[in-house]
């Protein structure tokens, strides 16, 4: 879309995902959407704008109270309630309204919305670290954590560029150790080692312990996860009641994406050609490991879905005239 069309789409707000929008111009850089969350520092956004490569376009709706499911917004593909809590941010990127979405992630609040819409997601403990260190939260299952910032994009090159702008990355030419689950039968375009993973859709504390043990011993791991929030209802407020609600929550297929931030890790999600299923890369938040992970995970990038592009990102879908116009 052209910038004028992106502006018009924000103003028409077809999915109620925009809180407010700002003037943007064709030659002033890529369009940013920012989650309506106090954890995101205005100075961080201003630093991006000052590079002249980005301009603030929208403040995006989020799930109430940071909930994992947004009961006010609808997933544009499935018609289900949208994954949260960076729900509006993901929708606005998916529609082509924004080039980049900036959100906050505690237990999957950036990664899950990105993955459910087959977008690229990225979070890191190192993004705006000094500001984010000021905050501490407790999850619905009583786990204390510090949130991280993250990005959502539909174009991998756009994602990679904003990561370079906001993170110190270091090249590492040494041999790399990458692990995947022994249950993963996919073929990867680089060397991997298979190890036993825990039940990634099970107890969050068990998965935290797994990452804390494994990440220091590897460059990064890959967990193929999903389909996110396609069949189940991936929310622990709902799931905590009894065995029945727990199993419905489990069907939402949110795995290590729920705990990557809780161990202070950096994570990147690369969509597959299946709805809501992504390769999730997770590494320690060190510049050299992050650089290796991005370089390797880029090899898993596939072309964007042609029908999604033609329908959702086509101005005629949203701007067609009605009867008698």
Q: Which fold has domain 3-319?
A: Amidase signature (AS) enzymes (3.90.1300)
Domain residue spans of the chain:
3-319
pLDDT digits (tens, 9 = 90+) for 23-36: 999 999 999 999 99
**What are residue 195's DSSP bridge partners?**
181
d(Cα 256, Cα 252) in Å, to the nearest integer? 13
Q: What is the pLDDT of residue 31?
A: 99
**What are residue 180's DSSP bridge partners?**
194, 222
List of the chain residues with pLDDT < 50: none
Q: What is the pLDDT of residue 321?
A: 83
Query: If phi over 0 gives left and psi between -120 and 50 gives alpha, with beta otherwise, what is residue 162?
Result: alpha
Tell me the whole-structure pTM to 2 decimals: 0.97
Q: What is the pLDDT of residue 46?
A: 98
């Amino acid at each position: 879309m052209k910038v004028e069309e992106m502006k018009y789409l924000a103003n028409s707000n077809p999915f109620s995902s925009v809180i407010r929008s700002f003037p943007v111009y064709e030659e002033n850089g890529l369009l940013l959407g920012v989650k309506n969350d106090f954890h995101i520092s205005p100075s961080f956004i201003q630093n991006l704008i000052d590079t002249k490569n980005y301009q603030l376009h929208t403040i995006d709706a989020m799930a109430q109270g940071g909930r994992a499911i947004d009961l006010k917004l609808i997933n544009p593909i499935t018609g289900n309630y949208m994954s949260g809590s960076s729900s509006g941010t993901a929708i606005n990127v998916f529609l082509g309204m924004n080039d980049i979405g900036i959100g906050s992630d505690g237990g999957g609040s950036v990664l899950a919305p990105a993955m459910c819409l087959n977008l690229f997601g990225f979070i890191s403990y190192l993004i705006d670290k000094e500001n984010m260190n000021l905050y501490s939260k407790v999850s619905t299952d009583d786990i204390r954590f510090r949130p991280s910032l993250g990005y959502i994009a539909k174009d991998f090159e756009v994602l990679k560029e904003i990561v370079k702008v906001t993170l110190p990355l270091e090249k590492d030419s040494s041999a790399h150790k990458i692990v995947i689950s022994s249950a993963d039968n996919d073929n990867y375009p680089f060397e991997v080692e298979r190890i036993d993973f825990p039940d990634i859709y099970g107890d969050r504390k068990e998965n935290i312990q797994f990452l804390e043990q494994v990440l220091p011993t590897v460059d990064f791991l890959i967990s193929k996860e999903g389909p996110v929030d396609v069949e189940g209802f991936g929310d622990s407020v709902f799931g905590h009641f009894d065995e029945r609600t727990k199993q419905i929550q489990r069907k939402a297929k949110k795995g290590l994406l729920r705990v990557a931030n809780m161990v202070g890790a950096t994570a990147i999600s690369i969509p597959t050609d299946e709805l809501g299923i992504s390769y999730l890369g997770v590494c320690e938040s060190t510049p050299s490991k992050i650089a290796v992970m991005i370089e390797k995970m880029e090899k898993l990038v596939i072309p964007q879905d042609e029908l999604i592009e033609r329908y959702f990102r086509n101005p005629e879908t949203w701007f067609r005239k009605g009867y008698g116009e």
